[in-house]
Amino acid sequence: MAATANSTATSATGELPKKIWATALMWLLVAVYGVPVLWFLLSAFKPAGELFSYPLTIFPKHPTIKGFTQAWTSFDVAHYFVNTLIVAVSATALTIVASAACGYALAKYTNWWIKGFAICILATTMLPGEVILAPLFLVVRDLGLYNSLAAVVVPSVITATGTFMFRQFFLTVPNDLLEAARIDGASELQTLFRIMLPLSRPIMLTLAIFSFQWRWNDYIWPLVVLNEPSKYTLQIGVATIVGAENVNWSVLLGASVLSMIPLVALYLVFQKYVMSADIGAGLKD
Amino acid sequence: MRRLWPQRRLNRYTAAPLALISINLLLLITFFVWPAVTGLLYSFTSYTGIGTAPYVGLDNYQRLLQDDAFYAALVRTLVFTAGVVPLTLFLSLSTAVLLVTNYSKGKSVARVIFFLPWLISPIIAGVIWRWMFGENFGLVNYLITSLGGSEVPWQSNANLSMLVVIVAAAWGGTAFNMLLFVAALKNVPTAYYEAASLDGAGGWAKFRHITLPAIAPTTFIVVLLSVLGSMKEYALIQAINGGGPGTANNLVVQYIYTKGFQRAQIGYASAASFVLMLILMVIALIQLALNRRKDS
């Protein structure tokens, strides 16, 4: 089997079977990854009565968007959508500012306390939100943030992944550039905003997409700090439909598909920033 | 001038970086140091979230070590992890190799499909798999019965529902790790393969003796992240079957959540959290040690 990367085989005889095998295997895996989503999408366009009527058909016999409209209006998905958008956009903007500034400091200054701080940031990956769920909740409550969208946003602004993405990038920017700016009389912050940040645009976009995905798909933390249904994010909203005594599948399918649209659209536009992402530093939120 | 210069240097190179890290510093203290310290303190109390926090010493930890439900959740979490990690590793490496090799055709489409699950939240992924594996309405059972089999109890049998969760988790966890592997595979120098070809090495031999050693650091990271990630799984299983049937497949985070937020036993939940953190740290340290030994 053609399992070797970048292989430059010299013999022409072995080429064709290898190509067939590799292509067949790849498309088999494409089916494994694609079919669940495809079946889900097609089901979402079926009217409620058709969802469970045997024999099941691949394509809806009477395609309808009633599941979507019902989810959007009577199940408040529109409201959840807006809440999630507020959370994801504001958290992403703040994450980029905090990570870029901190990453720059970690890359370009060499004080002992900067180095210590870098280790502290790395250490946060050992303390994920799930592990300090209860005390973190108390902190947020004592700060008076309970049941507000800010409670979802603020604690998630600090991320080791984002900070180190920027740090790795700024390490590759020559120090000469920084020195030249200093000699020209630019202040440290001017140098960052005028010269360094514009250079780091690809990193900003990559982190923006990652951060948006983290916050859009977040579940347990919003669940803990949000109390009223009017504050719910999409994931909690969908989870409440799943958790109901009798699951309303028509609405559930509609709501789920709607909730996937923004990320899929974002990915299709910015694909290259995701696929070339230098996340080899090996951190994940 | 001589007095001004060091002064100015000091200002520039202390004030500027301090200002730059200030946001993260503040957040680190507020949302990591503070809860970590108070959490540790609360774990020695019977605090319920309101009123006083009576000190109970090691009582919470003692009760935890005698709680069968905690052990059951821990064992179930380990089973889940032992299932998910190898499967994720295999799938993400396979998809990455197929996306990098010159032999496969249609890579641009395949890449998007492979990556799709990353865009789908654990909750929605859970709904998708619940929809596929519904006992009397799912596609899978429909196909099985159409082919003459009998309905498989994907929801009411504890082991089968765990299997569905494992497959769903591997399906959802592939994309990110695949990305890491693709980057690593592209960085293997082609000269190695050319030299091996001249020596007459076959495709498998090249993969085994060149590719695998070259991507070993990435494999290590993938395994580490997958293990830590699966030990903390909550949303996905919640959406597929809520840790059911009954409480058969409750995982550790669900146990902590139930104790801490549904029963308001903050002290007890904090103790459970610290045990989980200890386990995560031990796992990470063991893996680091194994990795070191392999390197030397």
* Per-residue DSSP letter, A231: G
Which residues in chain A have Cβ-Cβ distances shorter than 8 Å to B203? 1-4, 7, 9, 18
Same domain membership, residue A119 and residue A47: no
Which residues in chain B have Cβ-Cβ distances shorter than 8 Å to A99? 24
What's the N-to-C CA distance of chain A in angstroms? 35
Q: Which residues are CB-contacts of A19 (< 8 A; sequence separation ≥ 6)? A: A2, B103, B104, B105
Please check the confidence at residue B1 and state whether its pLDDT lies above 70. no
Q: Which residues are CB-contacts of B112 (< 8 A; sequence separation ≥ 6)? A: A268, A271
In a domain, A285, yes or no: no
Q: What is the tens place of the pLDDT at every residue in A115-160?
A: 999 999 988 887 777 788 889 999 999 999 999 999 999 999 999 9
Same domain membership, residue A87 and residue A40: no
Give the separation between CA A271 and CA B109, rounded to whole angstroms: 12
- Lowest mean pLDDT: which of A41-55, A88-102, B12-26, B213-227? A41-55
Closest by alpha carbon to A180, among A194, A166, A167? A194
Same domain membership, residue A228 and residue A127: yes
Give the separation between CA B73 and CA B229, rounded to whole angstroms: 16
Question: What's phi and psi for B47, nearest 5 deg?
Answer: -60, 140
Same domain membership, residue A220 and residue A143: yes
Residue identified by tokens 């109970």 is B56
Q: Looking at this protein, which amino acid is placed at residue B263?
A: R
Domains of chain B with CATH codes: 1-42 (no CATH), 60-295 (1.10.3720.10)
Same domain membership, residue A209 and residue A89: yes
Chain-chain contact of B36 with A127 (C-beta, under 8 angstroms): yes
Chain-chain contact of A27 with B260 (C-beta, under 8 angstroms): no
- Mean pLDDT of all residues in A255-271: 91
Q: Which two tokens stand for residue A249?
A: 């599948």
Give the separation between CA A72 and CA A79, rounded to whole angstroms: 8
* Per-residue DSSP letter, B248: T
DSSP structure string for A95-115: HHHHHHHHHHHHHH---HHHH
User: How confident is residue A277, by pLDDT bands cut at 50, 70 and 90?
Assistant: low
**The predicted structure's pLDDT at residue A9:** 44
In a domain, A208, yes or no: yes
Same domain membership, residue A45 and residue A84: no
Among A4, A128, A242, the residue with its CB nearest the CB of B207 is A4
> Left (φ > 0), alpha (ψ -120 to 50) or beta: where does B145 sit?
alpha
Same domain membership, residue A164 and residue A182: yes
Chain-chain contact of B116 with A264 (C-beta, under 8 angstroms): yes
- Mean pLDDT of all residues in B7-11: 53
In a domain, A113, yes or no: yes
**The predicted structure's pLDDT at residue B296:** 66
Please check the confidence at residue A50 and state whether its pLDDT lies above 90. no
Same domain membership, residue A142 and residue A82: yes
Give the separation between CA B115 and CA B108, rounded to whole angstroms: 11
Chain-chain contact of B235 with A219 (C-beta, under 8 angstroms): yes
- Mean pLDDT of all residues in B105-119: 91
Among B110, B117, B127, the residue with its CB nearest the CB of A26 is B110
Same domain membership, residue A127 and residue A49: no
Please check the confidence at residue A180 and state whether its pLDDT lies above 80. yes
Say yes or no: ipTM exceeds 0.85: yes
Closest chain A C-alpha to B6 CA, distance in angstroms: 15
A114: exposed, middle or buried (Cβ count in 10 Å: 0-12, 13-18, 19+): buried
Name which residue leads in pLDDT, B65 or B49.
Answer: B65
* Max intra-chain CA distance, chain A: 77
A29 interfaces chain B, CB cutoff of 8 Å: yes
In a domain, A4, yes or no: no
Task: Look over chain A and give the mean of its residue pLDDT values, rounded to a whole number.
Answer: 86
Please check the confidence at residue A6 and state whether its pLDDT lies above 70. no
How far is the CA of A24 from the CAs of A39, B110, B266, in angstroms? 21, 12, 53
Same domain membership, residue A258 and residue A192: yes
Which residue range(s) make up the domain with A35? 15-68
Same domain membership, residue A164 and residue A62: no
Chain-chain contact of B180 with A280 (C-beta, under 8 angstroms): yes
In a domain, A5, yes or no: no
Domain edge (last residue) among A32, A48, A68? A68
In a domain, A129, yes or no: yes
- Mean pLDDT of all residues in B115-132: 93
- Mean pLDDT of all residues in A185-206: 89
Same domain membership, residue A264 and residue A182: yes
pTM: 0.88
Among A5, A94, A238, the residue with its CB nearest the CB of B188 is A5
Q: Which two tokens stand for residue A32?
A: 């494994």
- Identify the CATH number of the domain in which residue A77 sits: 1.10.3720.10
Q: Domains in chain A: how many in total? A: 2
In a domain, A284, yes or no: no
Q: What is the tens place of the pLDDT at every residue in B160-179?
A: 999 999 999 999 999 999 98
In a domain, A174, yes or no: yes
**The predicted structure's pLDDT at residue A278:** 55
CB B224 within 8 A of CB B85: no
Please check the confidence at residue B7 and state whether its pLDDT lies above 60. no
Chain-chain contact of B184 with A275 (C-beta, under 8 angstroms): no
Closest by alpha carbon to A278, among B21, B218, B98, B171? B218
Please check the confidence at residue B106 and state whether its pLDDT lies above 50. yes
